[in-house]
Structure 1
Amino acid sequence: MLRAFRAGQGAELRSLATRDDASTELMDDPDCDPQRLARTYEQFSRLNPVVSNQRAVYRRWIRPRLSADSTRRVLDVGSGGADVPRAMLRWARADGLRLEVVAIDPDERAFAWASSRPREPGLVLRRTTSAELADAGERFAVVTSNHVLHHLDGVQLGALLADSERLARDGGLVVHGDIERSTLGYAAFALGTLPFAPNLLSGSYIRPDGLTSIRRSHTAGELSALLPSGWRVRRGIPWRLEVLWGADV
């Protein structure tokens, strides 16, 4: 099956040797179909547990910094539909820990969709940027993001890392999770989502944008070369990268 995929997708697979920073995701187009965009936000809650392994991020990096006695604040940057912050809050409640997640996204469409969902105790939605929060003197125990880094150019990446240091500088931790570009990961996503394209994933941007995301993503070596002093990259599963800074890293 993989051999057949390679034969039919040769150009895409060859392009994975270098990062494709010219392609853009369909949902990033301000004129994209609003119904397909809403469907995409909705489906992230099913897709992210599979491809992002956020439960592992919570267990390894966030849970050890939470307390049953006092509320800790976590910042989630580029939250989109805020499915990951909602999941973190549910996990923390199940563990008997107190947590507030500030979920930010500058995109008014994402903010509006996330705000239309049922209320989640501990979730604070804000349409703002990491720079604005840092300039306002905000501080967080953990600053995190999921699948944001591959959207950024070099200048934007540097700015986010600098903002993150300011937001977590009083003993906090930063963990930005993203995809690691690989031929096997690309093939696994393409083949794994193919049976669901006409049904569960229909009417959304999940599949085409997922493939674009992989082509836009970095390898561990590429990302390490871009990081300033004090930052490091850790590999995760499946085909994941964690960009880390701060306490106990």
Structure 2
Amino acid sequence: MRLFSRWYPAQRSSAPELMDDPGSDRLQLEQTLGQFRLVNLLLSRIRSLLRRYVLRDMLARGVTHATVLDVGAGGCDVALWLLRAAERRGLSLSISCLDHDRRVLAYARRQVAEEPAIEVLDSSVFDIRGQWDYVICNHFLHHLNDQQVGRFLDLSYQICGRRLLANDLLRSHWSLFGFRVFAALLLHNSFARSDGVLSIKRGFRPHELQRMVERSAWTNSPQSHTDTTARVLRLAPGRVVIVASRG
């Protein structure tokens, strides 16, 4: 067990990321947001997760339209891909993309300016009100401390009608090594290289997320004992995922 424990940093880092600094360079921030598309395409597994837990779920239930909240949506590349993937399957979505950084919001709005099915919302996740069928987030949870993750899980239970899908980073030395190689080859002139390393150090081990889920409203509210399921998955390369569902 001691040998295996060395593969994982013992605790989450609390060091801030450069892109979260409101005074950081705008051009490098936008370059970082643009590079997220490549990271998401090659490393994140978010597309396969959305196909399985959103699109196939809609088809299996005979639902042709759904609403989606994408928390910490960045440049909206995930939302744009999801919308197109839904259209190819004869499905329609209304997607709300949430962020709280003015520079990120401006960039995101340019990316979706010609897409009426996607709206960009300026709000902290903890101030958001409304109802969506699916609440998704990709590489968002690690920006929160443990207490905030718990608050987010409780809030998502209130605003989510069907399913929460939260994809994030496994905190491991293997993940750090692999990302450093990837970043050295493909990520330049942005915050992505340094912030990516910090993101992994701020990431999670599966049992940590499982403990947070077990303490959340997804498993502890009166209704959760009858109509909800919540579990934590581990996927390669270096991903941990929360899937929590109603019905």
TM over 0.5: yes
SS in 2 for 1:17: coil
The alignment status of 1:130 with 2:122, answered yes or no, reads no
What SS does structure 1 have at the residue aligned with 2:240? strand
- Tell me the distance in 2 between the aligned counterparts of 1:242 and 1:35: 31
2:12 & 2:234 partners in 1: Cα distance?
Answer: 21
Indicate whether 1:141 and 2:133 are aligned.
yes
Deviation string, structure 1 residues 96-133 (Cα, Å, up to 9, x no partner) = 21111111111111111101224224111111233333
In the alignment, the residues of structure 2 paired with residue 150 and residue 130 of structure 1 have an alpha-carbon distance, to the nearest angstrom, of 14
What is the CA–CA distance in structure 2 between the aligned matches of 1:202 and 1:188, rounded to whole Å?
Answer: 16
- Please tell me whether the aligned partners of residues 210 and 232 of structure 2 are also in contact (alpha carbons under 8 angstroms): yes
Displacement, 1:66?
3.0
Kept in 2, the 8 Å contact 1:106–1:128? The answer is yes
**Contact 1:66/1:99 (CA < 8 Å) preserved in 2?**
no
* Counterpart AA for 1:153: N
Aligned pairs for 1:228-247 (under 5 A) are 228=215, 230=219, 231-247=230-246
Q: Give the secondary structure class of the aligned counterpart of 1:79.
A: coil
| Structure 2 partner of 1:7 | none
What is the match of residue 11 of structure 1?
A: none
Count of aligned residue pairs for this structure pair: 226
Tell me, which stretches of 5 or more residues in structure 2 are unaligned? 1-5, 220-229
Aligned AA (2:41): P
Task: After TM superposition, give the deviation of residue 245 of structure 1 in Å.
Answer: 1.7
Q: Find the partner of 1:217 among 203, 216, 223.
A: 203
Secondary structure at the residue paired with 2:208?
A: helix
For the residues of structure 2 that align with 1:107 and 1:190, how far apart are their CA atoms?
Answer: 27
SS in 1 for 2:177: helix
Choose from 178, 186, 189 the match for 2:176. 186
Counterpart CA distance in 2 for 1:16 and 1:245 is 26
From 176, 185, 188, the counterpart of 1:202:
188
Deviation per residue, 1:60-96 (Å, 9 max, x gap): 1010343687421011111111111111111111222
Provide the identity percentage: 31
1:1-249 map, 5 Å = 16-66=8-58, 70-117=64-111, 118-134=113-129, 138-168=130-160, 170=161, 172-196=162-186, 201-227=187-213, 228=215, 230=219, 231-247=230-246
CA distance 1:147–1:175, shift in 2 (3 Å): same
What CA distance in whole angstroms lies between the structure 2 residues aligned with 1:108 and 1:161? 25
Q: Give the gaps of 5 or more residues in structure 1.
A: 1-13
Are the aligned partners of 1:66 and 1:98 in contact in 2 as well (CA < 8 Å)? no
Contact 1:76–1:143 (Cα < 8 Å) also in 2: yes
Distance 1:157 1:90, change over 3 A: same
Tell me the amino acid that sits aligned with residue 222 of structure 1: E
Contact 1:73 1:142 in 2 (8 A): yes
Compute the TM-score of the two structures, normalised by the length of structure 1. 0.84
State the AA in 1 paired with 2:192: I
Cα distance change of structure 1 residues 191 and 108 upon mapping to structure 2, 3 Å threshold: same
SS at match of 1:66: helix
Identify if the C-alpha distance between structure 1 residues 131 and 111 changes in structure 2 by more than 3 Å, giving closer, same or farther: same
Q: Secondary structure at the match of 1:99?
A: strand
User: After superposition, what is the alpha-carbon deviation per residue over 1:118-150, rounded to whole angstroms, capped at 9, x for unaligned?
Assistant: 42241111112333333xxx2111111000111
